[in-house]
Amino acid sequence: MSLFEQLGGAAGVRRLVDELSRRLDDDIVLGPLFDGVAGPTLQQHREHYFAAVLGGPENYAGRSLRDAHRSLDLTDAQFDRFVRIVEASLEAVGALDEPATEVLELLERLRPVIVTPSRPE
């Protein structure tokens, strides 16, 4: 069974993304990164992306993760914070331990694509 199915299919992913989006919007560090981004569009992109990477329908047609995050110059600390927020969101929506752990492992594999590499000074 795919992670998409284990998390409750489209409805489960929507609940997760809704919870995640609320937490990100409220976060004092990560929230400002999304200022000026159209809420419904961002929400739909998140739902489609999560669904696709979790083994559900592949309706995501946005920019690549690298392109979407490049201009943000994200650090490892910011990525760690995002992962903690995803973990709290998974817990809040009642995700079981095993699929939640798999989601977090999947996100960790995306770190090199999302985080801007440190440059020597």
> Over the stretch 64-80, which tens digit does the pLDDT of each residue have?
667 777 777 889 999 99
23 within some domain: yes
Residue 119 in domain:
no
Q: In whole numbers, what is the pLDDT of the chain averaged over residues?
A: 87
Inter-residue contact 107 to 46 (CB < 8 Å): no
Q: Which CATH number fits the domain that encloses residue 33? A: 1.10.490.10
The answer to the question of residue 121 being in a domain is no
The confidence score (pLDDT) of residue 44 equals 85
- Answer for the pair 92, 20: CB distance below 8 angstroms, yes or no: no
User: Which residue is it, tokens 């000074």?
Assistant: 121
In a domain, 120, yes or no: no
Q: For residues 121 and 18, which has the higher predicted lDDT (pLDDT)?
A: 18
Q: Which two tokens stand for residue 42?
A: 């961002």
pLDDT the model gives residue 63: 72
The pLDDT tens digits of the residues spanning 25-54 come to: 999 999 998 887 766 778 888 888 888 889
* pLDDT higher than 80, residue 120: no
Confidence of residue 104 (pLDDT cuts 50, 70, 90): very high
Looking at the structure of the chain, the number of domains it has is 1
pLDDT at 61 over 70: no
